[in-house]
Structure 1
């Protein structure tokens, strides 16, 4: 009887949440004036337009060297922002972790910095920094850097807190210094997870850098924006294909590295 009651209760809960989601969707559509059925009806036309206009032709292939140059700039900027952000995030995570933290004040400060930089979108950071640094690569780099610091600090803190305490306590019992505990007990345990998070951050930054580049006038985002505004849709298609291919290749490489280290 108890099992039947539990199953019936789960069914009613599931039905309630489904109806709640449907109700929220319809309410949001009514408030914003968005017609869901009209949007679905326009999908065939949109698909037809895309397949008829976003085609790679010989003229667009002539722009491939320029596109690849901009794509390389985006990839290098993403890697640079991630690697430098990793160094700062590692220091903040040591202060913010319960295992390695030495002061509650510094711990709260580290978590606050991580939360503030993580919860503000990268695009918003790009717009904020745009006012100070203008449209250049430095603005894009700093926007990705700040976002990387926030995300990696949170990830590193969780990795350190999940590490085994036995080796840490053993080194403390022998009178080891703070940095000996960090680099001989904490880092060896957390390093595989940290590398995995760093690789994930590089993938994320490459995707974000495309949108940031539109705002800062740099990288592959600038090329996309330029060709789109001049209605050169064939070049837009090549840019889009290049971004997708680059992200897939980097993701495959990251997955292979993860399998090796974990």
Structure 2
């Protein structure tokens, strides 16, 4: 009897949830004047335009070395921003974790920094920093750094909190110092998961760096924006393909590393 009641409850909950989603979708479409049927009807024309314009020619391939140079700049900027943010995030993670935190005030400060940096999108950070630093690589780097800092700090806090307490308590019982506990008990347990988060952040930053580059005038984003504004769609296709291939390759490498360490 109870099982039947629970099934009915889940059924009604599903119906109510689906109804809410449908109503919200309709209201959103109505408020924004978006016609779903018209959008679906234009898809064939959109695909036709893509096939007709976004293809690579022999002349476009001559631009490949320059495009690859900009792509390498974007990838390196993403890696540097992630690795430097990792160092600061580790300290903030140790401060914000309940396992390794030494002060409630410092813990609240670390979580506040993570919340602010993480909840503001990277593109928004780029626009904010653009006013102070202008269009250059420093602005792009700082935008990616702040976004990485917020995400990694939050991820590290959760990873440290999930670590086993037995090793920590054992070292405390032997009179080990704070840094010995962190180095011998906390980091070894959390390291594989932390590396996984760092790799994920590098992948994310490479995608974000393309958008940031459009705003800051750097990297592969700048090349994409330049070719798009000059209506050179063949070069746009080559830039897009280069980005897609590089992201897929880095994802495959990251997945392989995760399989090895996890």
Q: TM-score range by the shorter chain?
A: over 0.9
Deviation (angstroms), 1:2: 2.6
Partner secondary structure for residue 164 of structure 2: coil
Q: Which residue in 2 is equivalent to 1:15?
A: 15
Partner secondary structure for residue 6 of structure 2: helix
Unaligned runs of 5+ in 2: none
Q: Which residue in 2 is equivalent to 1:227?
A: 227
Unaligned runs of 5+ in 1: none
- Equivalents in 1 of 2:199, 2:248: separation in Å? 13
Deviation (angstroms), 1:74: 0.2
Residues 13-46 of structure 1: CA deviation (Å, up to 9, x unaligned)? 2121111111110111111111111111111111
Deviation (angstroms), 1:259: 0.5
Aligned residues: 262
Q: Which residue in 1 is equivalent to 2:158?
A: 158
Q: Which residue in 2 is equivalent to 1:124?
A: 124
Partner secondary structure for residue 211 of structure 2: helix
Deviation (angstroms), 1:209: 0.2
Q: Which residue in 2 is equivalent to 1:84?
A: 84
Equivalences for residues 93-108 of structure 1 within 5 A: 93-108=93-108
Equivalences for residues 168-207 of structure 1 within 5 A: 168-207=168-207
Q: Which residue in 2 is equivalent to 1:210?
A: 210
Deviation (angstroms), 1:125: 0.3
- Equivalents in 2 of 1:70, 1:83: separation in Å? 20
- Equivalents in 2 of 1:5, 1:107: separation in Å? 44
Q: Which residue in 2 is equivalent to 1:52?
A: 52
Partner secondary structure for residue 135 of structure 1: coil
Q: Which residue in 2 is equivalent to 1:115?
A: 115
Residues 187-207 of structure 1: CA deviation (Å, up to 9, x unaligned)? 000000000000000000000
- Equivalents in 2 of 1:14, 1:159: separation in Å? 33
Deviation (angstroms), 1:6: 2.2
- Equivalents in 1 of 2:3, 2:162: separation in Å? 36
TM-score in terms of structure 2 length:
0.99
> Greater CA deviation, 2-11 or 113-122?
2-11
- Equivalents in 1 of 2:218, 2:260: separation in Å? 34
Q: Which residue in 1 is equivalent to 2:68?
A: 68
- Equivalents in 1 of 2:190, 2:10: separation in Å? 39
